[in-house]
Amino acid sequence: MKEPGGKVRIGVASECLARALTRALGWSLSASRAIVRPGLLVALLIVLAPIFLVLTQSGLHAIPLVNSIVVTTTDDPVVTSGYGFCTLREAIDNANDPGVDTTGGDCVKGTGNDDITFSPSTTGTITLGTNGELPAILNTLTIDGTGQNITIDGSLDYQILYVSGALTVNDLTIENGASDTGAGIENAGTLTVTNSTFLNNSGQDGGGILSEGGTLTVTNSTFSGNNAFGGAGAGIWNHGPLNVTNSTFYDNDAAFGLGGGIYSQFGTVKSPTAPSPATPRL
């Protein structure tokens, strides 16, 4: 069954009951044919149907729905609420404030477990202007640019994203971020990066990503031209669990040569392409 904004399945208990009900109905039908008691079939339906309905509804409510918020413009206007189009900034604001429309009707309300996508006509670069960095990620959120060629540009002035909740970034380019720590993304929660590119981000530590105390997973992604101008980890600076798979690091530059690709100060680094355990500096 489908519900708006997500998919749900009947719970395990209700599925078992459904199978039992099917067997019981088959048996009763066979019995009714043999001894001509159709009333037995009716009685079973009357008794079991309400129980089936209750368990089904319980299963529906037990599985959280993922809410979809669709961004409809690459603009980042100074006045956002009531702008008439759903901006990425507004979509994140709604995701951070479940059940409240902070956008004057521009975006769908958030639930705390949201999936931000982009309309078919929305493609290209979102350039951060005088509004500064995007809102911090507070809840569970996916930003998915699949098929839309979406770039988020920090204008060489702003950190692009900060994560204290759980963020999945898929098929995005994060470029030209600037910050002392984590110019592209700073992670203090759970960050999952797939099929994405970090390009020309510049920070004192962690040009592309700085993950301090959080969990970071990177898959099928590229880090290029990032800079750690005063410290370490031009591509990634890590202090916590880090898992890197099928990803490329090139032309990243860290001061004093401390981790042009990855610098891991403390924590665990796992990568199929690195020795196990991985050396602290890559």
Q: Strand 227-228's sheet: what is its strand order? A: 178-181, 202-205, 227-228, 253-254
Prior bond to 277 cis, omega within 30? yes
Can you give the length of the chain in residues? 282
Strand partners, 113: 140
Q: 10 Å Cβ neighbour count for 53? A: 11
Closest CA to 213 of 184, 188, 180: 188
C-alpha pair distances (Å), 229 with each of 135, 182, 206: 25, 12, 9
* Burial tier of 47 (Cβ tally within 10 Å: 0-12, 13-18, 19+): exposed
Enter the pTM of the model: 0.75
Q: Same structural domain for residues 177 and 124? A: yes
Domain membership of residue 83 (yes or no) is yes
pLDDT at 278: 39
Domain membership of residue 278 (yes or no) is no
Q: Same structural domain for residues 96 and 168? A: yes
> pLDDT tens digits for the chain (282 residues)?
434 444 334 344 445 445 654 564 454 444 444 444 555 444 544 655 555 444 445 444 444 578 999 999 999 998 878 889 999 999 999 999 999 999 999 999 999 999 999 999 999 999 999 999 999 999 999 999 999 999 999 999 999 999 999 999 999 999 999 999 999 999 999 999 999 999 999 999 999 999 999 999 999 999 999 999 988 999 999 999 999 999 999 999 998 888 999 999 887 788 775 443 433 444
Report d(CA 102, CA 95) in Å as an integer: 10
Q: Same structural domain for residues 79 and 159? A: yes
Q: 10 Å Cβ neighbour count for 164? A: 15
Q: Same structural domain for residues 8 and 99? A: no
Domain membership of residue 178 (yes or no) is yes
Using the structure block, give the residue that is written with the tokens 């009947």. Answer: 10
Task: Give the pairing type, strands 227-228 and 113-118.
Answer: unpaired
Q: Which of 37, 62, 87 is the last residue of a domain?
A: 62
Closest CA to 116 of 166, 67, 63: 67
Task: Give the pairing type, strands 209-212 and 242-245.
Answer: unpaired
Q: Which of 62, 79, 111 is the last residue of a domain?
A: 62
Domains in the chain, number: 2
Range of the domain at 36: 2-62
Q: Same structural domain for residues 232 and 167? A: yes
Where helices occur in 36-105 by DSSP H, the ranges are 38-62, 88-96
pLDDT at 48: 54
Token readout for 159 is 């950190």
Residue 167 half-sphere exposure, CB side, CA atoms within 13 Å?
27
E strand or H helix that includes residue 70: strand 67-71
Task: Give the pairing type, strands 6-7 and 2-3.
Answer: antiparallel
